[in-house]
Amino acid sequence: MEVVIAPAEELAVLAADTIEALLRRKPDGVIGLATGSSPLQVYDELARRHAEHGLSFAHARGFMLDEYVGLPAGHPERYRNVIERDIASRVGWAAELVQGPDGLADDVPAACAAYEAAIAAAGGVDVQILGIGTDGHIAFNEPGSSLASRTRIKTLTKQTREDNARFFDGDVDAVPVHCLTQGLGTIMAARHLVLLATGTQKAEAVHQLVEGPISAMWPASIMQMHPHATVLVDDAAAGRLQLAGYYRQTYASKAAWQSL
Ligand code: GLP
């Protein structure tokens, strides 16, 4: 696992560089898309590169991490609409090339199985962008999630619903109780994981992810088992890392030929 501690703008550039490098070597590369605040600067940077340098998403495929259950198709906080607004529409990404779990499916297990099959049929995810919840969740894999889980329905914790109420005019009761989410096993199958976290409210989750024991109590800690995981954090989110000095020294002395 590589930990990079830098200002948020630099982290966004590094993540965008990783996606750009993928699309230059593999125009039909598969990108795993996260919602939430954490990837927004990455999406801004990709939109800028699309507008100014013609970075093309014409053949790329996108797979979302998760989706709320039950939000109507036109709801602005439905994750499919969030992704359309935050990234897809800004980089000319055709709607049929970006998929998410179907939060309106009548047959939820079938929809989850179909989503796993779609990811597999695309050849798997090349670069997976991730945020992290304050309780250590990635996608919507709340504490207690099976470390081998696949796409399925989950119940959101009170903490997560409170954290996400800001997207629902501060009304926690408007935040759905259920979601469909890629499992930890699904996420672990992606070839490169790139997680972004900023702010002191993420510091404990980042500490547990990087330095804690691997445990379903801190679901992101499973990333310690991934052969190619990158954790991009600002000073505040790095505030509880015991080995922060070592991570800084390692990154500062990294060979020029090494990318993330
Ligand atoms: C949300 C999403 C996650 C996201 C996380 C952190 O609930 N389902 O994919 O990474 O919580 O969100 P944020 O980046 O807004 O802090």
Could you read off the pLDDT of 2-29 as tens digits, one per residue? 999 999 999 999 999 999 999 999 999 9
Residue 142 known to be catalytic: yes
Please identify, by atom number, the ligand 1 atom nearest to the C-alpha of residue 202: 16
Phi/psi at 178 (nearest 5 deg)? -115, 160
How remote is the CA of residue 160 from the centroid of ligand 1, in Å? 9
Give nearest CA residue, ligand 1 atom 3.
Answer: 139
Active site (annotated) includes residue 163: no
For the CA of 140, the closest atom of ligand 1 is 8
Strand 178-181 with 66-68, pairing: antiparallel
The model's pLDDT over 208-257, given as tens digits with 9 standing for 90+, comes to 999 999 999 999 999 999 999 999 999 999 999 999 999 999 999 999 99
Band (127; pLDDT cuts 50, 70, 90): very high
Instruction: Please tell me the distance between residue 116's alpha carbon and the centre of ligand 1 in angstroms.
Output: 21
Contacts of 166 (CB under 8 A, 6+ apart): none
Global model pTM greater than 0.95: yes
